[in-house]
């Protein structure tokens, strides 16, 4: 089963290809994604790697966390699930009821 890893403190010049190359030494990289700011298009300095197995992910963490990569000491750990945003409420129409 694939395992997603968080990679932080990346150089703003890091590419998805260079990130993929770094992690490919630890197994099959299913995906590599760097996160960019929507407005500026600049890297936010972090990304995600998806390794094909739990064992490969464990090896990748052990082999890269704290390592210098492209001039920065990167942080690598298991990615946490993104919390869901509540899209349902908060300050909308209240059915015509007045709170006054």
Task: Give the CATH number for residue 19.
Answer: 3.30.70.330
Q: Which of 14, 4, 17, 93 is nearest to 49 (CA)?
A: 4
Q: How many domains does the chain have?
A: 1
Residue 100 has pLDDT above 60, yes or no: no
Report the predicted TM-score, pTM, of the whole model to 2 decimal places: 0.80
The answer to whether position 18 is within a domain reads yes
66-99 pLDDT, tens digit each: 999 999 999 999 998 777 676 655 555 555 555 5
19-71 pLDDT, tens digit each: 999 999 999 999 999 999 999 999 999 999 999 999 999 999 999 999 999 99
DSSP, collapsed to helix, strand or coil, labels residue 95 as coil
The answer to whether position 99 is within a domain reads no
Angle ∠(47,49,52) on CA atoms, nearest 5 = 170
Residue 25 pLDDT: 96
Print the domain residue range for 43: 3-78
3-24 pLDDT, tens digit each: 999 999 999 999 999 999 999 9
Residue 90 pLDDT: 56
The answer to whether position 86 is within a domain reads no
């Amino acid at each position: 089963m694939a395992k997603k890893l968080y990679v932080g403190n990346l150089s703003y010049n890091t590419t998805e290809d260079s990130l993929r190359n770094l992690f490919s030494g630890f197994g099959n990289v299913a995906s590599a994604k760097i996160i960019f700011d929507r407005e500026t298009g600049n890297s936010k300095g972090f990304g995600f790697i998806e390794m094909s197995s739990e064992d490969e992910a464990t090896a990748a963490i052990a082999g890269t966390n704290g390592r210098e990569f492209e001039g920065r000491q990167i942080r690598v750990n298991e990615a946490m699930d993104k919390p869901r945003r509540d899209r349902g409420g908060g300050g909308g129409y209240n059915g015509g009821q007045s709170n006054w």
